[in-house]
Amino acid sequence: MKKYLGIELGSTRIKSVLIGEDFQALAVGSHTWENQLADGIWTYSMDAVFQGLADSYKDMAKQYQAAHGEVLTGINGIGISAMMHGYLPLDKDGVPVAAFRTWRNTNTADAAHALSEQFQFNIPLRWSIAHVYQAILNEEAHVQDIDHLTTLAGYVHYKLTGEKVLGIGDASGMFPIDSKTKQYDMNMAVCFDTLVKDSALNKNIIDLLPSIKVAGEEAGLLTDAGALLLDPSGALKAGVPLCPPEGDAGTGMVATHSVAAHTGNLSCGTSIFAMLVLEQSLSARYPQIDMVTTPAGLPVAMVHCNNGSSDLDAWVKLMHETVQLFNPQTSLTDIYNNLYHAALSGDADAGGLTAVNYLSGEHNTGFEAGRPLFVQSPYSNLTLGNFMRAHLYAAVATLRLGMDVLMVKEGVQIDKIYGHGGFFTVKGVAQQLFAGALNVPIAVMDTAGEGGAWGIALLAAFMCQDAANLDAFLDEAVFKDDAGSLIMPKAEDVKGYHAFIERYQKALLVERAAVDNL
């Protein structure tokens, strides 16, 4: 039986999913981790990256052996995915010359603004090109040592294969892509080189960036050293082909069959983002909208927000700690299930309660840092259901503001959006509330909880198939019997969320005061 492995390094979990010829999971492993705020930078250490990678693989391999009665030694294809964007500069020996800076950092405002004006193209704060230009503006000493720029997925792939390549979807979060050539935009590259010609940077930007690969292409073979990084036990055999490494946005599109025009998907975890595959370009450039691509290279409008479920997760864990004082046997899973369902009993407008979920900065609303808030008035209806609904509503609020640009200003038509990621594992709750918040039908597939790790496993499988194109492969082989469960927005939720989002926008003035003074 052929087997394909997908590993995704997400914000809170490193997940390994092994699938078979029917594209269903044979075994799943995971490793929990958290970013650190070190010297004002959100980061993960490289030791944590590779320890977590091996731990996740070990957990998956152990499950495989228990279920199938054999040690996992041979795999037919592997794919690596990770959180997009950020900054990972390497020297000529492939060693990082600065701490990895994740997508969560918002200290690149000057660079992003300057590049957006120079390129006449929106450059988000978290993009790699904004990070490297900010390092140049700051005259950081490591700039002169940069020989290669990559993402977290690209770096892990490099350590496994020795190849400095990147899938086009992840590459589109490093530097703008020309959708016609499916390569970096050369005019913008020349513009950037002119802009930094007197800096300490020693190479043209094109020579610093990874080579681009599209879905279906082979992107290197697992080396002996790479096999030991994944599986220190030595059981895993080298020589496995790897597909192009991709970002979590691209793998989310694959996992929800959202790679064709008129399709879209929504992912909510530590961050939250929506991806809409466009039929045509937008009429203007908007700071809330990123233009990226599918793993096959089609243009995508992306609304990405730094803050998703982190504040909500902190409240749930606090309630779990409280409940354990009375019943130590209560699991965190039970707490999530019960509290999420409690939100459905809340008032449509969350009873006048307001939460702002900014644990970190939020570029879409102009915040360089965050202070989570919960606000009630003397007229609010403070119940558990309303409390939970307010925090679930808050998780999607900044995304809603960005989606309004596409749906109202640009008139983009959305038939439905596929939800995926851990937020949707509590069946029906976030799906129902988000449908009302965005006023769009939300579909969730049974595979939604596997998310991007399953998506990159599918890309590894696609590389090994004789399929015409990615959309046809997904349509005819993977999703032919799975249309997902669809929930329509309720009129009362749409109206209630309208009241909530008006309060939320006013509460951002309070958020500003909190950031400035606390």
Classify residue 169: in a domain, yes or no.
no
Distance CA 10, CA 263 (A): 23
Whether residue 320 is found in the same domain as residue 188: no
pLDDT at residue number 398: 97
Domain stops at, among 165, 192, 208: 208
**214's tokens:** 């599209």
Whether residue 193 is found in the same domain as residue 331: no
Least confident of 91-105, 261-275, 455-469: 261-275
Classify residue 95: in a domain, yes or no.
yes
For 306, counting Cβ atoms within 10 Å of its Cβ (0-12 exposed, 13-18 middle, 19+ buried), the class is: buried
| Average pLDDT of span 260-288 | 84
Classify residue 58: in a domain, yes or no.
no
Note the helical H segments in 85-151.
109-119, 128-137
Whether residue 503 is found in the same domain as residue 371: yes
CA pseudo-torsion sign 218, 222, 226, 230: positive
| Averaged confidence pLDDT in the chain | 93
Classify residue 438: in a domain, yes or no.
yes
* CA-only gyration radius of the chain, Å: 22
Domain count of the fold of the chain: 2
Domain holding 388, by residue range, is: 310-444+488-517
Within a 10 A sphere around the Cβ of 331, how many other Cβ atoms?
Answer: 11
Distance CA 399, CA 401 (A): 5
Backbone angles phi, psi at 228, to 5 degrees: -70, -30
Higher pLDDT, 412 or 210: 210
Classify residue 428: in a domain, yes or no.
yes
| Average pLDDT of span 41-49 | 96
| Average pLDDT of span 370-395 | 97
Of all residues in the chain, the percent with pLDDT exceeding 70 is 99
- What's this model's pTM, rounded to 2 decimal places? 0.80
Least confident of 366-370, 467-471, 506-510: 467-471
**160's tokens:** 């496994």
Classify residue 198: in a domain, yes or no.
yes
Whether residue 372 is found in the same domain as residue 506: yes
Q: Is the pLDDT of residue 110 over 90?
A: yes
Return all residues near 204 (Cβ < 8 A) that are at least 6 apart: 189, 193
| Average pLDDT of span 132-142 | 97
CATH code for position 348: 3.30.420.40
Whether residue 203 is found in the same domain as residue 331: no
Q: Is the pLDDT of residue 281 over 80?
A: no
Confidence grade of residue 450 (pLDDT, cut at 50, 70, 90)? low
| Average pLDDT of span 270-295 | 86
Note the helical H segments in 183-241.
186-195, 205-208, 224-230
Classify residue 52: in a domain, yes or no.
no
Kindly list the distances between the CA atom of residue 207 and the CA atoms of 48, 163, 198, 227, 411, in Å, as whole numbers in the listed order.
Answer: 29, 14, 17, 28, 39
Whether residue 384 is found in the same domain as residue 507: yes
Quote the longest CA-to-CA distance of the chain.
66
| Average pLDDT of span 196-204 | 95
In a 13 Å sphere around the CA of 391, the CA atoms on its Cβ side amount to 25
Total length of the chain:
518
Confidence grade of residue 152 (pLDDT, cut at 50, 70, 90)? very high
pLDDT at residue number 483: 65
Classify residue 259: in a domain, yes or no.
no
